[in-house]
Structure 1
Amino acid sequence: MELREFFSEDAVALELQGTSKDEILKELIGLLKLDEKSEGMLFKMLKRRENLGSTGIGRGIAIPHCRSLVVNRLRVAFGRKKDGVDFKAIDDKPVNFFFLIVAPPLEVSNQYLPVLGKIAQFSKEGDVPTRLLELTSPAQFMALLEEKRV
């Protein structure tokens, strides 16, 4: 299993517009192309998860994630905000890179935690934050995932 298998270029946004945690979450959810009701439910679930503790893991990276009935398979999205947003990350620094993961409550393939782990592993590689900042297209994001073979 490689991370690249779960991402698609149409779920990659390199110019997020939001200036708050809530706005960023809504933009990321929008990348999944769900109906309005599902988007609202998913936003509430992600907010609930963030209230337990920020998914900002440091080094400018956050991995908002939850399980929800609004999806029938694991879905992921990536967003970048060059200026960064206060996401209450563990290192108290602004977050620039957002990896959204949403999985159904019962997932036969059980890929939710392995994908979360792979994103964390990918994020810890020394050159990744710099490389993510330099991206100019979703295709380059996909190529970086491919190159890193996570």
Structure 2
Amino acid sequence: MGTESIPEVEVRRSVTVPLSVHRAFALFTTRMTEFWPPEHSISEAAIAEVVIEPRVGGRWYERGVDGSECTWGRVAEWEPPVRVVLLWQIGANWQYDPDLETEVEVTFTEETAGRTRLELRHRHLERYGDQADAMYAIFDSPGGWGGTLDRLAAVAS
């Protein structure tokens, strides 16, 4: 009798934008402030900037209008312009948790010249334990990753 493995829980979303693969990657990784929903701040202060440091091990965080910083996670894989994997380390209580790691993988595929498909997978939501279903519902909701990618597409147009 072996132990049963917990099935992986993930949210998948995608969007196509009228940008080259290089510009789409840059939009997602260097201009997140422009499309991140401001109501998704986990800091006490309003978001002034969302930062992804462009290297493996780089920080992913928000900077508040008051100068405070709130860590969201870090860069696990950095493969411009085709792929980035970010570790989302925000617990179900919406606070940074260095012991929690879920993965936000985004791939960038050129569909035609000047059109790129972004595919986002937020993996390992089962790591939220008894909060996994609730967190899945949040990330899968219209205000979750789908809405965030819709905002990105609006910025890209």
Q: Comparing both structures, which one devotes a greater share of its residues to helix?
A: 1
Q: TM-score, normalised by structure 2?
A: 0.31
Q: Comparing both structures, which one devotes a greater share of its residues to strand?
A: 2
Q: TM-score, normalised by structure 1?
A: 0.31
Greater Cα radius of gyration, structure 1 or 2: 2
